[in-house]
């Protein structure tokens, strides 16, 4: 039996683990990456688009990349995470020049693709190739919140929204209670998590359980092509950071794990609960289980082979030779 093709929109803040997630997705034959939006998080949204386009160019792939929000809702971008992802977002690794970005802003591209896929799915009534758009968000949720403002029916128009973000029953990574993507735009996160999407949340609770180590970086570099040499080099630098906080040379697979769950290649164990997001005070950005509201499928564990699945795809991806 063949796996149905998933038309997927990726929203990202590229980012070392975003880059690994993208490389993984590009090798999944049943994922059709139809558009990418960028948002400020690990790096500003314009540089994130440059990084994303460069990575696509390194494997000769063409996907529309739309620059999204520079600032979080009602605030100003705080300048990213150079201590984690390097000054250019990709561990300080020099990538070749990226191709030009799409004309639409990210939220508009997302809405346009959501509408067109929903219309095709309705017209095709389940026929092959007619399916609603799925969305994978691995950065702050500003573009999703803007898209919701532009199109309040977005939760009905798309299929599943998978989000890497939050720390639900475990500690945060930018404060005792908050995870970076949610913390960077807590207001947007609150709107998205309570909007009624068919929503899978992949929080730190599970992403810290699945990691790459230096041997993975070495394997990527040994492949010898520009993309994998770049990914391996940035992974070693990402591990340098995680060693300072976790005291092991192993980096969590935050975004790649969310990608593998969105692609249906890694089985998640979920707990369902409505969630709210704290938008002020010391717990700003905390994702809190509540009694009322739309249920969110919070991933608390994932298939033990997740890192193998992700590594093997990154190693198998068709490369443009050096
Ligand atoms: C998330 O924040 C970013 O630094 C990573 O790319 C990931 O999306 C982890 O908290
Ligand atoms: Ca990210």
pLDDT at 104: 87
**Which DSSP state fits 304?**
T
What is the block-wise mean pLDDT of the chain (322 residues), using blocks of 10 residues?
A: 87 98 98 97 96 95 95 94 94 86 90 96 74 98 98 98 98 98 98 98 98 98 96 98 97 98 98 98 98 97 97 92 60
Ligand 1 atom with the smallest distance to the CA of 18 is 6
pLDDT at 150: 98
Ligand 1 atom with the smallest distance to the CA of 81 is 4
Q: Is 14 in the pocket of ligand 1 (CB under 6 A)?
A: no
pLDDT at 193: 98
Q: Is 11 in the pocket of ligand 1 (CB under 6 A)?
A: no
pLDDT at 321: 61
pLDDT at 86: 92
121 SS3 class = helix
Alpha carbons 162 and 199: distance in angstroms, whole number = 6
Ligand 1 atom with the smallest distance to the CA of 174 is 10
pLDDT at 320: 72
pTM for the whole thing? 0.97
* Among the listed residues 55, 17, 136, 263, the one whose alpha carbon sits nearest the alpha carbon of residue 144: 136
Q: Is 48 in the pocket of ligand 1 (CB under 6 A)?
A: no
Neighbouring C-beta atoms of residue 281, cutoff 10 Å: 7
């Amino acid at each position: 039996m063949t796996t149905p093709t998933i038309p997927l929109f990726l929203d990202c803040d590229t980012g070392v683990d975003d880059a690994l997630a993208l490389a993984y997705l590009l090798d999944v034959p049943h994922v059709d990456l139809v558009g990418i939006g960028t948002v400020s998080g690990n790096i500003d949204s314009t540089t994130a688009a440059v990084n994303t386009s460069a990575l696509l160019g390194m494997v000769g792939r063409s996907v529309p990349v739309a620059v999204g929000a520079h600032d979080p809702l009602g605030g100003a971008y705080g300048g990213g995470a150079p201590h984690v992802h390097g000054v250019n977002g990709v561990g300080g690794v020099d990538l070749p020049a990226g191709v030009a970005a799409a004309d639409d802003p990210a939220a508009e591209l997302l809405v346009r693709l959501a509408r067109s896929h929903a219309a095709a799915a309705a017209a095709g009534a389940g026929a092959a190739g007619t399916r609603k758009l799925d969305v994978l968000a691995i950065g702050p949720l500003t573009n999703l919140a803007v898209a919701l403002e532009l199109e309040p029916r977005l939760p009905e128009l798309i299929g599943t929204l998978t989000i890497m973000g939050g720390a639900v029953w475990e500690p945060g990574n930018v404060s005792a209670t908050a995870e970076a993507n949610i913390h960077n735009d807590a207001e947007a996160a609150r709107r998205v998590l309570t909007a009624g999407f068919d929503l899978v949340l992949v929080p730190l609770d599970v992403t810290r359980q699945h990691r790459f180590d230096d041997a993975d970086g070495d394997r990527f570099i040994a492949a010898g092509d520009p993309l994998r040499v770049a990914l391996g080099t940035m992974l070693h630098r990402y591990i340098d950071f995680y060693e300072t906080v976790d005291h092991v040379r192993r980096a969590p697979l935050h975004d790649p794990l969310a990608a593998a769950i969105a692609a249906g290649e890694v089985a998640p164990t979920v707990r369902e609960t409505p969630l709210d997001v704290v938008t002020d005070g010391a717990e700003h950005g905390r994702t809190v289980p509540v009694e009322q509201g739309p249920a969110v499928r919070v991933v608390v564990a994932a298939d033990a082979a997740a890192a193998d699945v992700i590594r093997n795809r990154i190693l198998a991806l068709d490369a443009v030779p050096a």
